[in-house]
Amino acid sequence: MSIRGTSRALSPAERWYWIIDQLSTLNVCARVRVEGAVSTDALRGGLRALQGRQPLLRLAIATAASGIDPRFVPTSEPIPLREVSVTRLEEERWAQEIDTHEFVESVDWRTGPLARAVVIRQPDGINDLILSVPHYISDGTTALALLRQWVLLAAEPGAADDAEAANAAEAADASETPIPVPVEDLFPERHRTTAGALPDREAADPTADESAEAGRLEPEFFVPFDQRRTRLLHRFLPADALADLTAACKREGVTLHGVLAAALAGAVARDAEAAPGSHFAVGSPVSFRDELERPVSEDEVGCFVSAVHSVVAYQPDDLWSMARFVNRDLTERRERGDQYPVFALLAAQGPAGIVDSEPLVRYIEEHGSFNFFISNIGRFDFPAEVGDWRLSGAQFVGGISVVGYLASSVSTSHGQLSWNFTHIADAVSRERAERIADDSIKTVLTAAVSGS
């Protein structure tokens, strides 16, 4: 990635995500299970080596006395590693750690660095690794790529021995390390100067039937913006079910994302007891790494996604037609460049800090195009073996903060499709979130087997 000086202001998009992370934690977490002898020294050595490769992981954020004008600044602090030990095997302890800690406490941006790590040690050499990165420098692909780099570096012979030398070298070089330019600087030229006005709710979907009002997920309670908390429900499709679903998608001519988004929209519609033909807006964060002035690899740190939405008609007996519509709609929106105007909006009208964030946050709450979404990064290549270590269950999950009420994070690695659902506590009850999650999964599994 192109670079600039050793300190720079956060871009409008980075600043926005930084602000709402302070309102309600907005971390992106990646997890993998490692079976084998994994020493603490090797893990710490891998983290230091990772920092040595990634300038954005050697930063903190400084502000003016008023709490505005945030800037990236160097820090020599190491990525903290928290260790958790359990005495019996707990398959979903990693999900519990994310649910009760990683989604509760923001990464300390004042001291930096802008990442933290966890190792959960279980009996018989089972270790679950978690890496958490704030959304203002990370998307799901970034988080998983950083986790993969951490594992590979920790497995290198001498990683632990190199850590002390890396500490000294980075402490000396931190103040001179260039910082990558913001993602906005890499946009195609035609998408850098789009007008930044807040759209009317009615104008949010120019392709929809004007007589059809787009439904959103209705919260059970209004939770103040600064009291919202993301909760996690871990779900997955095993290899055989994934194979059936993949074959069905190929047969029906749709993408996996299309059918998952359609299933989630259908589950929300059924939860609302909506009539067939009712329209619901489902968001889809999409990657634009390949659309930039130069392609950006998945190993480059940054948030390279933007959400677009599809207003889909609820058809309880025809999931595949819903999926085909989502696919067509997303293709058309991406070709129009609908993923870019939000950046111009944030540049023109984005808040400077917490103190003036209320108008935009409330606008999104009341008039945003969607408030439930599905983030799917597709297949992610994560090794199954590294030296004597056996790896499995690589996946990511992202927080929600104040940009919605229900979401799901989807990735496919190690022969498993991980479909992690998140919801805002109290606004969406645990029971309701479980009902929607299980309905979504049952819908796609049924369709894969029945072909309808």
Helix axes 430-450, 256-271, angle to 10 degrees: 130
pLDDT in tens, 44-102: 999 999 999 999 999 999 999 998 999 999 999 999 999 999 999 999 999 999 999 99
- Residue 382 pLDDT > 80: yes
Number of compact structural domains in the chain: 2
Assess whether 437 and 318 both reside in one domain: yes
Residue 427 tokens read as: 């606004």
Same domain, 220 and 171: no
Which structural domain range is residue 198 located in? 186-450
Rounded distance, CA 194 to CA 343, Å? Answer: 9
Q: What is the pTM of this model?
A: 0.93
Q: Which of 102, 416, 84 is nearest to 232 (CA)?
A: 102
Alpha-carbon gap, residue 358 to 199, rounded angstroms: 17
**Residues 178, 145 within the same domain:** yes
Using one digit for the tens of pLDDT, what is the confidence trace for 301-346? 999 999 999 999 999 999 999 999 999 999 999 999 999 999 999 9
What is the CATH number for 382? 3.30.559.30
**Tens digit of each residue's pLDDT (9 = 90 or more) over 186-228:** 999 888 765 555 554 444 444 444 445 788 999 999 999 999 9
At 106, which CATH number?
Answer: 3.30.559.10
Same domain, 161 and 193: no
End of a domain among 183, 203, 227? 183
Query: Cα–Cα distance between 328 and 254 in angstroms, integer?
Result: 9
